[in-house]
Chains A and B, each alone.
Chain A
Amino acid sequence: MAISVNGTDIPVPDDPRVSLLDLLRERAHLTGTKVGCNQGACGACTVLLDGERVLSCLTLAVQADGRSVTTIEGLGDGAALHPMQQAFIDHDGFQCGYCTPGQICAAVAMLRELQGGVPSYVTADLAGQGTVTAEEIRERMSGNLCRCGAHNGIVEAILQVAKEQAA
């Protein structure tokens, strides 16, 4: 009965009402993951569950039993930033920073989905492969709201990482 959070085992709470979000913040003291709307509308609580992006506010911690969670704190390699974190800095992909951990976790998984062949609503040819364009990124990142309006920088940051990965 444990959840692997950034490689460290955290016990599953006895009370099944505890969300994965509350487990991360209140019990594992990993406060990088943010509470936004707490109802699945904003994306600020996005983490990776077995590598896939999910909303930790609507995930019961007990449902993550035996699974692996990566938060913003576990994305980089030790003190080194993840390339997506660096790209958000390079392109001013934030202002207040509150939505940023969710944005970055979502962006990392989003590129994996795109490169793995998962289509989006704006992918023209469903039988083919989606391409990394600003339009695709905007559609695929629509679950992460930024009230400061840093979306242009966020799209540029993701385009930069995609370009680096392709090189």
Chain B
Amino acid sequence: MTPFTFARATSPEDAARLAALEGHRLLGGGTNLVDLMRKGVEHPTTLVDVTALSTEIIETARGGLLIGAATRNTALAAHPLVRTRYPVLSRAILAGASAQIRNMATVAGNILQRSRCAYFNDPAASRCNKRAPGSGCDAREGFNRYHAIIGGSPACISAHPSDMCVALVALDAQVHLLGMTGARTVPLAEFYRLPGDTPQIETVMAPGEIITAIELPPLPVAARSDYRKVRDRASYAFALVSVAACASVQDGVLTELRLAFGGIAPKPWRALHAEQALLGGPVTREAVFAAMDLELAEAAPLAGNAFKLELARRTAVAVLADLTGVTA
């Protein structure tokens, strides 16, 4: 590990000031960053510990929730209001990593975690445009079982690894940012950039901006929501495909629907096309398959991950059938 100095941020403003400095990186639980430093993927000159920033979860005036950036994943998943009003979020967090890692990891760190692509994580022997821009991509012709089928580019097909963020995009979460020029709010759905020609640029954050909080809007339909994750072992593995859904049915037709996917794209994938196609109709296998065909029309699967097209369709059917109580 390259030598570095260690600092502690005492306030959000202090963290933003330090984050703007060359070579400075923010440290939450360290579950991803410390590992990347040990592997030689990341080489910060200074780590700024931000775990003393807000860990509060408070109800907003409009009836949503404001979640401090340093809140630990376990604390968010276990919060009574999250469990009752946004169960999809609890379930998604609990589907990720292990209990030890969830105890350590922060909410902002989860959002800003980096790719688990084997080639990104192997600086000694692999080419990766995200780690070393212009060097090439070994995943495209290599082991791409865990990679994106939609939203990728010739330069990068890395899939976003977070479970929590799949639920957050389904819930229309907002990211509160603070920089030297002030504060702003960005929907999580618009927070990540698709890789294009610059896979090393992963978010819309400006240099020196930090995440201070995540805001959930009031969303009654979220009380009926769920998260299902399909993976290579029953627990403690990244998603092949995951589905976050909130649904409401009246007189046999979907009146409200939020649908998002993990494991298939470089960012948590909100399925707006599928939502539009399904709203106002019944939950049947045929309807969900047709909606998913529309959603994944632009998919460009590869040798190792083409199975995800069918897996995503079928997992969507299963989750929506469970949520709405129909046999699709």
The contact of A58 among B4, B6, B34, by CB within 8 Å, is B34
Contact (Cβ within 8 A) B103 A54: yes
Contact (Cβ within 8 A) A63 B51: yes
Q: Which of B's residues lie within 8 Å of A, judged by CB?
A: 1, 3-6, 27, 29-31, 34-35, 38-39, 47, 49, 51, 74, 77-78, 83-84, 87, 90-91, 94-95, 97-101, 103-104, 229, 234-236
6 further A-B pairs in the complex, CB-CB below 8 A; given A62-B6, A126-B84: A58-B29, A60-B47, A117-B78, A139-B234, A139-B235, A144-B98
Contact (Cβ within 8 A) B101 A40: yes
Contact (Cβ within 8 A) A126 B91: yes
Contact (Cβ within 8 A) B98 A120: no
14 chain-A/chain-B pairs, Cβ below 8 angstroms: A38-B38, A39-B35, A39-B38, A52-B103, A54-B103, A54-B104, A55-B104, A59-B34, A59-B104, A60-B27, A109-B99, A138-B235, A143-B99, A143-B100
A124-137 near B? 1/0 per residue, CB < 8 Å: 00110000000000
Asked if A17 is at the interface (CB within 8 A of a chain B CB), the reply is: yes
Q: Which residues of B contact A109 (CB under 8 A)?
A: 99
CB B233 to nearest CB in A, in angstroms, measures: 8
Contact (Cβ within 8 A) B100 A54: yes
Asked if A73 is at the interface (CB within 8 A of a chain B CB), the reply is: no
Asked if A34 is at the interface (CB within 8 A of a chain B CB), the reply is: no
Q: Which residues of B contact A144 (CB under 8 A)?
A: 98
Contact (Cβ within 8 A) B38 A119: no
Contact (Cβ within 8 A) A142 B49: no
The contact of B83 among A15, A106, A119, A140, by CB within 8 Å, is A119
What number of residue pairs across chains A and B have CB atoms under 8 A from each other? 97
Known contacts A55-B101, A118-B74, A121-B235; A126/B35 CB under 8 A: no
The contact of A46 among B4, B78, B100, by CB within 8 Å, is B100
Q: A52: nearest residue on chain B (CB-CB)?
A: B103
Q: Which residues of B contact A39 (CB under 8 A)?
A: 35, 38-39
Contact (Cβ within 8 A) B35 A16: no
Interface members, chain A 47-105 (any B CB < 8 Å): 52-55, 58-60, 62-63
Asked if A113 is at the interface (CB within 8 A of a chain B CB), the reply is: yes
CB B263 to nearest CB in A, in angstroms, measures: 16
**How far apart are the CA atoms of A113 and B103 in the complex, in Å?**
11
The contact of A15 among B3, B39, B74, B104, by CB within 8 Å, is B3
Q: Which residues of B contact A127 (CB under 8 A)?
A: 83-84
Asked if A10 is at the interface (CB within 8 A of a chain B CB), the reply is: no
Known contacts A119-B83, A121-B95, A139-B235; A55/B100 CB under 8 A: yes
CB A85 to nearest CB in B, in angstroms, measures: 19
**How far apart are the CA atoms of A33 and B83 in the complex, in Å?**
34
* Max count, chain B CB within 10 A of own CB: residue among A106, A117, A126: A126
CB B79 to nearest CB in A, in angstroms, measures: 10
* Max count, chain A CB within 10 A of own CB: residue among B83, B98, B103: B98
Contact (Cβ within 8 A) A16 B6: yes
Q: Top 8 closest A-B pairs, CB basis?
A: A143-B98, A142-B235, A16-B6, A142-B236, A121-B94, A126-B83, A118-B78, A58-B34
CB A30 to nearest CB in B, in angstroms, measures: 18
Q: Which residues of B contact A139 (CB under 8 A)?
A: 234-235
The contact of B103 among A17, A53, A60, A126, by CB within 8 Å, is A53
Contact (Cβ within 8 A) B31 A58: yes
Q: Which residues of A contact B84 (CB under 8 A)?
A: 126-127
Contact (Cβ within 8 A) A16 B47: yes
CB A137 to nearest CB in B, in angstroms, measures: 11
**How far apart are the CA atoms of A67 and B115 in the complex, in Å?**
31
**How far apart are the CA atoms of A139 and B235 in the complex, in Å?**
6
Q: Which residues of B contact A59 (CB under 8 A)?
A: 30, 34, 104
